[in-house]
Amino acid sequence: MVHASAVEEILPADPTGHAGASLSLRIAVLDRDSGFLAVLGKRLERAGWEYRVLASSVAPETIVPMRLGAIVVDLAVIGPTCWEWLERLCGALPELGVVVCTGSSTVAQRVRGLRLGADDWLTKPCHPEELIARVESVVRRRRRLEGSTAVEPMLAGEVEIQRDQFQAFVDGVSIDLTRREFELIELLAASGGRVLEREFIYQRLWGYAMVRGDRSVDVFVRKLRQKLERVSPDWRYIHTHFGIGYRFAAESAGHSGSAIPAGALAPKMLVSEPSDELDLARA
């Protein structure tokens, strides 16, 4: 039985394991639904996962030392400040898999949560096995991303991309990127100048097929492009191929279409772009 105290001790993994699970994980579940937690706890124990229950909102910074692979969050537990909390969590732990599992919500609320950094979103009631499968999927994607991380940074124009730090720099100063924006620039920069289709980008970043008419990729590309142009105005990095997708190549702003090798980094003024807020009711 999982006890919903404020912060429970990590429960030991079931030594018998569970044939249906392929990953060994340490996760946290922020939820107060005792019935759901009891059922989920049994599934997690059979899966051989270590987990702890958080029955009240805790500061995202306190989650850092828990060394988690993923967290499952019911936004209703957090209340009116859930959006700010979610953004702080994703900012403090860019490598953490975040799955929202909460009550009924609107499309706009789900979009907002995903844009703030959540990796997946389930609506209650849901089956615990589906939740576990979603968590596994998120963690697998993140491990593949970590596995592709090279020791050497990627250099393009004035931008230096440090994949092991989840950061990009101009003249040694970090660019103000969200987690999703960093994943986007890393994916584009690693493509070797190839054009990546919107559907491919969406599937790699969100983990499932893009719904017809979804403009999430275009929104993130626009925001990333604006940030790059503000900190490195003499270069153009993301190029649009209309009706297809996007290509990443450092090209001098004065010589459009002519790729120029990365040169000496020049100091630039960094400007943080204001966040794109949605006026939504709390989850």
- What's the CA gap between 75 and 88, in Å, rounded? 14
- Break the chain into its structural domains and give their ranges: 26-147, 154-252
pLDDT of 105 higher than 60: yes
- Of the two residues 145 and 262, the one the predictor is more confident about is 145
Torsion of CA 129, 134, 138, 140, to 10 degrees: 50
Burial class (CB in 10 A: 0-12, 13-18, 19+), 2: buried
pTM over cut 0.85: no
- The topology (CATH level 3) of 154-252 is Arc Repressor Mutant, subunit A (1.10.10)
pLDDT of 1 higher than 50: no
Where does 26-147 sit in CATH, by number?
Answer: 3.40.50.2300
Quote the pLDDT of residue 152.
76
pLDDT confidence tier of residue 58, bands split at 50, 70 and 90: confident
Taking only the tens place, the pLDDT of each residue in 180-203 is 899 899 999 988 889 999 998 988
Max intra-chain CA distance, the chain: 65
- Of the two residues 148 and 252, the one the predictor is more confident about is 252
- What's the CA gap between 197 and 2, in Å, rounded? 44
Quote the pLDDT of residue 248.
95
pLDDT of 12 higher than 80: no
The mean-pLDDT minimum among 65-79, 100-114, 130-144, 259-273 falls in: 259-273
- Averaged pLDDT for residues 98-124: 91
8-state DSSP, 66: G
